[in-house]
Structure 1
């Protein structure tokens, strides 16, 4: 910059502020406004922060839920609400889930009512002159006779050759899981600072797909440290598997609640509609 040139004030970039949805726009807009207000009440964290807090949904899905354009699925709704109302504001999980599920169902019912269209009355049938009716009847009889003759010819041609039956298509594969329980360190366990322990969960493969090359992916950051990806032993349909994750505790007192989702090597999650599994311990000298 040349001598004597006036200094330019630094340009401050402001992040985009999320526009509040219109609660008067309809059931979907009203429900989105409830989510928007909950987010503000919880300190207005970014959607990236909500994902780090353990919401098992993408940032774009969380953002879309509070925009009011479409009604989010119940699974996305609960992840949005859980990390804010339960984890951040400390509300009771069961009561909160019941309250918000009722709100979501009302919005869903209201949306369905708005989308219902009244079917237009059918056009009246044209009046056919008597002679035309006779002609139509003759044409119908002729068509029926011709169809019968064609059917007989086809039966004769296929006689003794067998009729080829359509083969049934392949059965679609189904990938699913059931959480069977905590094997070690149940929720609320007190663990000492500067220590290590292994958290173990048990899952069952209830689908028809073999679980191979799958991992348990950590979904958020907490004072306790755990690997980003933990291998899951190969599991056949119908089998159970115990998944062990090593955990290191911090040097001082803390509460640790780490969420995990099943994922592949690239971090793409399976079962996006299911809740994540988690460990929930308290770090203390006892």
Structure 2
């Protein structure tokens, strides 16, 4: 029977009417993490992935959330946290810090256990040492030359003896091994990367007073090999809460962490305030395209 070509369900990405298969938690650490995500999703009322990415405000795409729940590959921590945050914190009202610690441990354990399984499947194989070149047959050559020396000593006097001596032993000096000249080390390709470390102030879900001014601070680390100069956090969206269009970063050397602070004015009406920022150069060109924006997420009351 041919498969149905009906429309896809917007929440799961599967064909409408087909319930996605929950991964078997016994099949591996990544599948176990996905199984836990499914359980959380059901506890929160089983919203669709599309609703999670739009109405519930997850800073991750519908497809990324769905992929995290399939359990085939380990999702990024950012995607995992957005999956968990909108359900456990925003929907179920659980404590943000406790939820973050618990799920960070689940996510890290899935990554560590997954790496261990891969190493177990691929035992280290030491390359066999190539055989050396065959030793020259010096004894045969030396015997032949001694015979030449003996014949010369009986036939041609001292000069012939000296010549024969040179021919006999002068060529026995071993030739030096041809040693490959060291090649200069290849220069490593510059790598631009960042790591979000933590919210220094006003973690997600914090409550602020209507019309108040407050300073939001994040801590990020230069995890690449490129120094950061003339870089900014540029605001990506508009909300009732007001914030500058961009704030400066750095300079920051590779391996260093930096605190970035934005002054925000809360809206005059109660509600949720979520503002996204992305790292750009001084012309506003986005950098680190693979990285998700960092954001402020507070409740105005």
Q: Distance in 1 between matches of 2:97 and 2:44?
A: 19
Count of aligned residue pairs for this structure pair: 240
Q: Distance in 1 between matches of 2:8 and 2:227?
A: 48
Q: Distance in 2 between matches of 1:244 and 1:16?
A: 38
Matched, 1:235 2:236: no
1:85-114 deviation line (CA, Å, top 9, x unaligned)? 123322123332343345442686379559
Q: Aligned to 1:34, which of 30, 33, 36? A: 36
SS of 2:186 mapped into structure 1:
coil
Shift of 1:78: 2.8
Check 1:90–1:213 CA distance in 2 against 1; reply closer, same or farther (3 A cut): farther
Q: Distance in 1 between matches of 2:295 and 2:290?
A: 15
Matched, 1:169 2:186: yes
Check 1:233–1:72 CA distance in 2 against 1; reply closer, same or farther (3 A cut): closer
Matched, 1:61 2:64: yes
Q: Distance in 2 between matches of 1:115 and 1:207?
A: 26
Runs of 4+ residues over 6 Å off in structure 1: 195-198, 238-242
Q: Aligned to 2:267, which of 239, 247, 250? A: 250
Q: Distance in 2 between matches of 1:279 and 1:163?
A: 58
Normalised TM-score (structure 1)? 0.57
Q: Distance in 2 between matches of 1:15 and 1:169?
A: 50
The match for 1:153 is 175
Q: Distance in 1 between matches of 2:96 and 2:296?
A: 16
The unaligned stretches of length 5 or more in structure 1 are: 1-12, 120-139
Check 1:68–1:280 CA distance in 2 against 1; reply closer, same or farther (3 A cut): closer
Check 1:93–1:47 CA distance in 2 against 1; reply closer, same or farther (3 A cut): same
1:133-175 deviation line (CA, Å, top 9, x unaligned)? xxxxxxx99x5305999xx5354xx7xxx97432122245354
Check 1:79–1:147 CA distance in 2 against 1; reply closer, same or farther (3 A cut): farther
Q: Aligned to 1:192, which of 194, 210, 214? A: 210
Q: Distance in 2 between matches of 1:77 and 1:147?
A: 69
Q: Distance in 1 between matches of 2:137 and 2:64?
A: 56
Q: Distance in 2 between matches of 1:21 and 1:111?
A: 25
Check 1:35–1:171 CA distance in 2 against 1; reply closer, same or farther (3 A cut): same
Q: Distance in 2 between matches of 1:233 and 1:114?
A: 39
The match for 2:291 is 272
The unaligned stretches of length 5 or more in structure 2 are: 1-6, 13-18, 124-130, 139-170
Matched, 1:144 2:131: no
